[in-house]
Structure 1
Amino acid sequence: MPDASRPALPPELITLFATVRRHFHEVIVPMWQGPGWNSELALPYESLDAHHVPLPPQRYRAMACARQLYVFASLIGEVPQAEERASALFRSLQRHFHDAEHGGWFYSIDPQGAPLDTGKDLYTHAFILFACAHYWDKVREPLVESVLNAALEVIARRFATGDGLYEASLGRDWSTLESGPLQNPLMHLAEAFLATLSVREDAHVQQALSSLCDGMLKRFIEPTLGVMMEKPLKSVDNWFEPGHQFEWYYLLASSPLLRDGKLRKALERSFEYSEQRGVDRKSGAVCAMLSLEPHAAPRDATQRIWAQAEYLRALTLRADGQQALLPQLKALQQHFLHAKGWNECLDADGIVSRRDMPSTTPYHLMTCYLGLADCLA
């Protein structure tokens, strides 16, 4: 719902957003309906080059399959054959990656479809849960909800550590790898819990989400600045990423369950700090990695399209972010989008440093554009 207390949005922003969204529908989506689709395995190739030729496949990841399932499930009713593609991706998720012996899902298969990395990681399982929640919301098929339930069950039974958090990775047979919890998979698990709660009432998931946020506040939030660290506090060689600050901010601020919680208040407190140190005021570029030392140079000054998208999405929920929406959308369009797709990464000087286009990136653009659409509605 638009906020009546906010100033009217400039018509130029609405026009530019229509252009950017048309680019997504007319350029990016067809890449993965056509050249990016391996019809033999019924899976997306991991990446396309600048001419839309698949890079020689080294592997296929369950996470990439799940992200594409989310995208095409979200496009059902908008894009021709989106429902057929979502159905094929859902079947492939089970056919190629489900571990019939130990339960859960493999990380990856090789180019011939045989299991490759058979470890079990939380990041993959979180995206499977996230994608199935969105897909089930569109099709309401019992089999989809059964996979959703299986993902919830295995996450709670196998990955949970008992303090509201979850192991980042386990062996194929669920043996411990002593990985401990890590920020990024936990963030996507929170996202998956929110997706589940958006499509059905679930007291167990709601409690798990609340406990997860409590655990993040205790073990990952740097108490002085309020920034979310990538590894638990006191870990050796720790850092924070502006893109993840903005991604967490959106998840928390957009949720009626979480927006008044302590974790949201911490990220609210650190938002300006993340902007100050992580966003170039002239170009709008979001750098990749920062240390806590206030005057240190970025640990990694690479500019990644997903971080740009997350910053833009976060701005839609900030009263003081409205005036930045137009320049940031321009920055995304001018520096990252082009006639044949997108630039995945720019270096510190804004020069393209990675020209291939991974199958996982449309997920970030989709979530960003849906956030913008809600803001502009």
Structure 2
Amino acid sequence: MTTSPLPADSWLVEPAHLAWLNAEGLRLLPFARASRVEDGFAALDGKGQLTADAIAELIHTTRMTHCFALAHLQGIAGYDALVDHGIAALQGKLRDEVAGGWFVDASRSGDKTAYLHAFVALAASSAQAAGRPGAEALLAEAIRILETHFWSEEEGALRESFSRDWSQEEPYRGANSNMHGVEAFLALADVTGDSLWLQRALRIGERLIHQHAAARGHAVVEHFDRHWQALPEYNADNRADPFRPYGSTPGHSFEWARLLLHLEAALQNAGLAAPGWLVDDARGLFASACRDAWHADGAPGLVYTLDWQAQPVVRARLHWVQAEASAAAAALLRRTGETEYEQWYRCFWEFTGRHFIDLHHGSWHHELDPSNRPAASIWPGKPDLYHAYQAVLLPRLALAPSLATAFSRM
């Protein structure tokens, strides 16, 4: 695999830093345990309590199941039952036993989305790597739904969403759902041993990043019509949408950069050709996000969104953006050995330690205002373990295989 030696003083080889990452992961996990409800996992408030209207949601159930499987694989006691609870939830009330696929939440409503179904596949693959009962059947069903309804061989990408009975398709294509499709496909390739998933991930990356993002200075184009014509003004009247915001989203540039490097490494491990644009575009994505989003409004931190002139639109600082920035820096540092990425890696973690990590109430603040004070205009509470937990795990591992498989082989 193509990697370069790390600098001798890199935090990635510093025992104290690696111990700190491990300790932070151990601090995050207990907070998330309180999210368990009868039908899955639900959102927590800022103090780690279930909200008054708590209901099992597919996004939290899949992400928590994935994270708890990672904890179990590391030998952290007490998380096996939580993985099993997640599997049961995904085979229970959250599953549409009539039409197939999974509901948005336990009210059994909403459209069937590629974004959420990618997380079902990720959770199932992690549970399978952990050897949990019921995971194999769940994984087979997740793959069947992805291949039957979402994957488009003609487009080389995922369709976005459908009505509950699959009869009506949304005339939209999204980068976010396809990005998490790449993440899921990397995990599926590892647990199934089928490199077809890597070829599919490569096709998605080529379309969305090597064609569209690279042509815009490596700013990720998020929104398209069903014919893959870009929609640059999409959600101009709803600019702070948590899943489909207007403009470009620097956090996704970081996330894509990391995933391209994971894909390169996975292809090489499988003995397949890894095109040079994977690392070139990863560099470009990271550079554009740092240049345009860091201190973009004159204050420290990474802004949530930018317009097409690289000017800040939504100036909130979100924890997942910060988590992906540090994970991308670590991936590029491991891939290239270049000190630039070491400097960014340290910079991002220092900012996280000062502003996001909540040592009083636990977990991380999910949102800060432009003055870096805790806020809740986009993401109230602390419902998400996934981004922060992966951020403390990824720097400790090689770029391939994916997280669950890597821990299963240790």
Normalising by the smaller structure, the TM-score range is 0.7 to 0.9
2: CA distance, partners of 1:268 / 1:325: 14
Cα 1:90–1:291 change in 2 (3 A) is same
How many residues are treated as equivalent by the alignment?
Answer: 362
Gaps of 5+ in 1: none
Counterpart residue type for residue 163 of structure 1: E
Cα 1:148–1:49 change in 2 (3 A) is same
Q: Is residue 298 of structure 2 the alignment partner of residue 290 of structure 1?
A: no
Gaps of 5+ in 2: 235-246, 268-273, 333-337, 400-410
The Cα offsets for residues 75-101 of structure 1, whole Å up to 9 and x where unpaired, read as: 114322111110111111111111111
Correspondent of 2:314 among 300, 303, 308: 300
Structure 2 counterparts to residues 62-77 of structure 1, below 5 A: 62-76=58-72, 77=74
Q: Is residue 368 of structure 2 the alignment partner of residue 346 of structure 1?
A: yes
Counterpart residue type for residue 241 of structure 1: T
Correspondent of 2:293 among 271, 278, 295: 278
- Partner SS, residue 385 of structure 2: helix
Partner of 2:206: 214
Cα 1:13–1:357 change in 2 (3 A) is farther
Q: Any conservation in 2 of the 1:105–1:120 contact (CA below 8 Å)? A: yes
Counterpart residue type for residue 49 of structure 2: V
Cα 1:204–1:5 change in 2 (3 A) is closer
Q: Any conservation in 2 of the 1:227–1:266 contact (CA below 8 Å)? A: no
Structure 2 counterparts to residues 203-352 of structure 1, below 5 A: 203-217=195-209, 220-221=212-213, 223-232=215-224, 233-238=229-234, 239-255=247-263, 256-257=265-266, 260-262=275-277, 264-280=279-295, 285-294=301-310, 296=311, 298-318=312-332, 319=338, 320-339=340-359, 340-341=361-362, 342-352=364-374
Greater relative contact order: 1 or 2 (C-alpha under 8 angstroms, separation 6 or more)? 2
Measure how far apart 1:58 and its partner are.
Answer: 5.1
- Name which of structure 1's ranges 299-308 and 348-357 shifts more when overlaid on structure 2: 348-357
Q: Any conservation in 1 of the 2:261–2:282 contact (CA below 8 Å)? A: no
Measure how far apart 1:6 and its partner are.
Answer: 2.8
Measure how far apart 1:244 and its partner are.
Answer: 0.3
- Partner SS, residue 353 of structure 1: coil
Partner of 1:174: 166
Partner of 1:18: 19
Sequence identity, in percent? 20
Measure how far apart 1:46 and its partner are.
Answer: 1.2
Measure how far apart 1:13 and its partner are.
Answer: 6.2
Measure how far apart 1:102 and its partner are.
Answer: 0.6
- Partner SS, residue 50 of structure 2: coil
Q: Any conservation in 2 of the 1:119–1:170 contact (CA below 8 Å)? A: yes
Cα 1:59–1:337 change in 2 (3 A) is same
- Partner SS, residue 233 of structure 2: coil
Partner of 2:408: none
Q: Any conservation in 2 of the 1:75–1:82 contact (CA below 8 Å)? A: yes
Measure how far apart 1:164 and its partner are.
Answer: 0.9
2: CA distance, partners of 1:179 / 1:308: 32
CA RMSD of aligned residues (A): 2.7
